[in-house]
A and B are shown apart, each in its own frame.
Chain A
Amino acid sequence: MAETNALQAREKQELQGETIRPGPVFRPEVDILEREDSYVIYADLPGVDDKSIDVRLDQGALTLDAQLATLPDTSWNPLHAEYRIGSYHREFRLSEGIDASGVSARMQNGVLELQLPKSSQHRPRTIPVEAG
């Protein structure tokens, strides 16, 4: 059997400070990875679907705002609560090497995948060597 770790539950990180929305706002957990020609951001947003998320890119600032699409009915009687629910917010500052017009986003299973292509002058190039 393959080695696996046991997942540990962590309390959601609630954003402090001024918010304009009612209810708690959480900071989603993300992975940021770099490939040869792009950066990719994955964000855990359980309960969010493609229509309840807003991704904004403005002068190098990338902002995620998301509301829950899957949530308990208000008529249900809560017996036991281990996690809190609310909306999500997180901001990133992008480096200059990103082609803002090529950014794309996709939601699947409560995870946002953001593809951020590098602008052409920041991609590695191979320079052909000619025989002299």
Chain B
Amino acid sequence: MAQFSLYRPWAGASWGGPADQLRQEVDAVLHRFGGGTTSSSSWRGVFPAVNLYEVADAYVLMAELPGIDHKDIHVSLERSTVTIEGERKIDYANQEGVSLHRRERQVGSFRRAFELPALIDADKVEAVHQNGVLMLRLPKSPEDQPRQISVQAS
């Protein structure tokens, strides 16, 4: 099977800069039809971290987005590029009469785009946000799926 890897031209550049609040980053798949797993060591910290799986007729993309209402998550698809964007808000941080003793949970916006190894059937994409985990089922377009061609006797 062929290699699967991600290409990030802007990874690591201008972290947190004011002009960089909405990162526009496309993770392009260089080689189609993945085999081996890319490890997390090649990943450079763009939120959200995602895991990508393949099933026979679809890709499944998972991202951990705890504490984000499904209405604050926007998913769009153009050809084989899927974009996830949204914002995590924490309302208690600025409330009166509240003192924060520990602050580890982050707030802020995110945007990330991925190019998948095959064309996606946009009409059949399913997005579910369950227990703070976003699951996108991205069916491969019929024209990109392997087909069996029957051989007929002449």
Hey, which bits of chain A sit against chain B, CB under 8 A? 4-11, 29-36, 39-40, 42, 44-49, 69-70, 72, 75-85, 107, 109-111
Q: Nearest chain-B residue to A42 (Cβ)?
A: B105
Partner of A70, one of B38, B52, B100, B130: B130
Q: A76-B54, A78-B51 are in contact. List 11 more A-B contacts (CB 8 A).
A: A6-B16, A6-B22, A7-B108, A7-B109, A10-B45, A29-B104, A31-B100, A33-B101, A35-B98, A110-B66, A110-B131
Interface stretch, picked from B57-65, B75-83, B119-127, B143-151, is B57-65
Residues of chain A with a CB closer than 8 A to B97's CB:
35-36
The verdict on B46 contacting chain A, using a C-beta distance below 8 Å, is yes
- Give chain B interface residues in 1-29, CB to chain A under 8 Å: 4, 6, 15-16, 20-23
**Once the chains bind, are A79 and B67 in contact (CB under 8 Å)?**
no
Render B59-99 as a binary contact track against A, CB cut-off 8 A, 1 for contact.
Answer: 11010111111000000000000000001101010000111
